[in-house]
Chains A and B, each alone.
Chain A
Amino acid sequence: MGAPHAQLVYQKLYSEALAKMEAYKDKPIVRVGTASCGIAAGAQQVKDDFVREIEARGLDVIVQEVGCMGHCYAEPLAMISKPGFPPICYGYLDYGLVHRLVEDFLAGDDPSYEYALAALERNDVFPTFEDFPRGVYEEKIILAQCGLINAGDIDQYIARDGYSALAKALSLKPEQVLEEVTASRLRGRGGAGFPAGVKWRACLNAGGDEKYVICNADEGDPGAFMDRSILESDPHLVLEGMAICAYTVGSSQGYLYIRAEYPRAVSQVEAAIAQAREKRLLGSSILGTPFAFDLEVFQGSGAFVCGEETALINSMEGKMGLPENRPPRPTDHGFRGKPTVLNNVKTFAYVPSILRRGADWFRGVGTPESPGTAVFSLVGKVVNTGLVEVPMGTTLRQLICDVGGGLPKGKEFKAVQIGGPSGGCLPESALDLSVDFDSLRAAGAIMGSGGLVVLDQDDCMVAVARYFLEFTQQESCGKCTFCRLGTKHMLDILHAVTTGQADEESLKLLEELAEDVRDGSLCNLGRTAPNPVLTTLRYFPDEYRAHIEEGRCPALVCRELILYYIEPSRCSKLCNVCVGSCPTEAIFTRTDGLKEIDQEKCVKCDNCRKACPTEYSAVIRLSPPLLPLGK
């Protein structure tokens, strides 16, 4: 029978993969991070430079493409492993640095430590990532292999115990696998935190022989890219998780719903599926057992609402992506009307580790109610932007100040926006809040998909609220009146506030509308759309009042409420930088040699202020927009 057989077949695959890796062992390897983020920073060029430089010297070095390590601030990145040295990661690469590394390190013996970011293994000569504050807090489960393995080579995944969890699952009964997942208390990482075990059980109990497993990779949240990164860097992890789920609930067909805006993720996953089929890890008689399961990619077409499960299913069925009333839940009546498990990329990515290391281990990470880790894309006004994975229960302060390295340029922290358009803005006082599903919800934000944007003194909270509402308003599918029209009215009010045309009454109306939209919408897009507005109203009422009562934007952002002015006492007559920087030719030289801005022509693009040398800092913003007397 299948049970012990699966392990045997797996052992064979594993030793083959290991043997293949063994061949690499004595050779130097350069691994260039070429996920979308790396490519945007020029990683493809860096890789070509490495290949050319290495060939020019006739060196025997392997150059590989790997995914994203999460240290996006230092892109383009590469890791060099050379026998006799610890593997070392280098950042901020350009042609000059590549040339130097090849000449000194690969051809010579000088690892050029002055350009190294960190080593990847403990050693006596150079610190590792774990020795930095970020490494102390980070605990990588699903990102552990991102950026270390070549996503295009399934053997690299298998050689690191990949698909061993599937082999183990196949030697157990589905019920036993389900018990393990339930005992781990894994909660769905799509945002709402619904227990995965409960969802799987509902699907298992639903009966019928046609069931589906769908992976939701419709990551539409502006400013979040962890799903993309996982799919590009370690696609097999997700495929393995889905296969285990399919075995558990009794499904033989699965789909990955991936945004069309992620072409690289789509191609990496399709290549991974093809390789897994070749190795008999997908398709019929997986690992020599009777279990059959296959996967296909469905490309989403750019509708944010399709992140909602019923809308996603409608979209896959070739309909408009409108959400439906629940119940019936997709686990009873899902894709093609059949029982369907729909989980987020990250949720599936946890499953292999849980089976391999056990539910007890998983529950030991994070908090009792939210076990495991949280993955965030850390962006905005923070030094070390990138992808981070920390245990649930880490405080926001640790996340921003230690993992993220604090705010750049000594700016003052103002707020942190969590969970994207459905989340909220939390102030300084909430920084000691622990990051988990329940405490974030209590504070008015949500875990959401994991976007975390740090805002400083130069960001206007009203403008931030308006930005997110503008997004949800555009993405509202139009099914529910409150979401369709309510968000529009709210947006109009916020426009009025940021342009100084609102009054005291409008804030009351805004709050009422926010509550109505929340209560009167069917799906989570509408129900959470008011969150950015409600949290900014709750934590930053003074900023709203300054806009309304004084016509002043405290952060000097709202363009209708500021003007640009060149302070004559600071302006150097000899410098012309601001004149050249102006895209609309609004700055001119007066007869006395000082510069002045023609307010009629000024579009408030901030270029002149950035261009003005810091020793003068003569270009200033004034709010309310009134020129100093005598002008």
Chain B
Amino acid sequence: MKLSEGEKEVILDCVEEVLHSSSKNREGLIPILQKVQIKLGYLPFLAMELIAAGTKVPAVDVYGLATFYNQFRLTPPGKHQVKICLGTACYMAGGDITLESFERRMAIKAGETSGDRRFSLGRVACVGCCTMAPVVVVDDKVEGKVSPTRVDGIMLALDDKTGVAGAEEPA
């Protein structure tokens, strides 16, 4: 993925800011990655290289951490994030079928972001709301008892927020 000059600058500033307020050693590495991801939404390669240089840890180890832990993502997230809970209770209540409905509707697979970066779809192990299974987390809002027929409604609500036909809402 090629970054524009503007994006590079944002990444540089962000990493510098995080490194400034963190302990620059191996123990501080995971918190640094977490903070950078919160700010940027993902971990671009450039950010990982900068963090490696800043903490004096080999870049390959930083990459190792970023790929070992589920929390980190290497591609930018979509504007709207939909996460399907696949904890035991949700799975038993048909969470996998709900996931398939979203995959069909967004035309992407779990873990992917749509080409126009409007949606990303993921799975989450358990959000602890087992009584409302199957549960879907839409932009940090928990939706309970999501049957495949409700999927269309949720998608429509997201469409309304972003404007129809992919028009971006003004920032």
A residues at B contact (CB < 8 Å): 36-37, 39-41, 72-73, 75, 220-225, 228-229, 260-262, 298-299, 301-304, 315-321, 377, 379-381, 385-386, 417, 420, 451, 453, 455, 459, 464, 467, 471, 477, 581, 583-584, 603-607, 610-611
Contacts and interface: CB of A to CB of B under 8 A. Distances in A.
A318 B29 contact: yes
Interface in B76-92: 86-89, 91-92
A320 B64 contact: yes
B125 A222 contact: yes
Given A73-B131, A222-B88, A223-B88, 9 more contacts: A222-B87, A223-B130, A261-B126, A301-B69, A301-B70, A303-B70, A320-B68, A385-B130, A583-B152
B65 A41 contact: no
Interface residues of B, number: 46
B94 interface: yes
Interface stretch (B6-14, B140-148, B159-167): B140-148
Given A380-B89, A583-B149, A606-B94, A37 B31 contact: no
A318 B88 contact: no
Nearest to A223: B88
B131 A605 contact: no
Given A37-B129, A223-B89, A605 B69 contact: no
A321 B68 contact: yes
B88 A420 contact: yes
Given A40-B135, A302-B71, A605-B101, A261 B127 contact: yes
A467 B91 contact: yes
Given A72-B131, A301-B70, A605-B148, A318 B65 contact: yes
Pick the most buried of A40, A302, A381, A464: most chain B CB atoms within 10 A of its CB: A40
Contact of A261 (B31, B104, B125, B151): B125
B95 to A, nearest CB: 10
13 contacts: A40-B144, A72-B131, A222-B126, A223-B88, A260-B71, A261-B127, A302-B69, A302-B125, A320-B64, A321-B68, A467-B88, A467-B91, A611-B149
B26 interface: yes
A600 to B, nearest CB: 15
B94 A380 contact: no
B97 interface: yes
A467 B125 CA distance: 12
Interface of B: 25-31, 33-34, 57, 64-65, 68-72, 86-89, 91-92, 94, 97, 100-101, 104, 124-133, 135, 142, 144, 147-149, 151-152
A39 B129 CA distance: 9
B126 A225 contact: yes
Contact of A319 (B26, B97, B144): B26
B42 to A, nearest CB: 14
B64 to A, nearest CB: 6
A301 B89 CA distance: 23
Given A220-B125, A318-B26, A41 B144 contact: yes
Contacts of A73: 131
Nearest to A420: B88
Nearest to B96: A467
A259 B151 CA distance: 28
A284 B169 CA distance: 52
A316 to B, nearest CB: 7
B27 to A, nearest CB: 5
A603 B100 contact: yes
Contact of B30 (A318, A380, A385, A605): A318
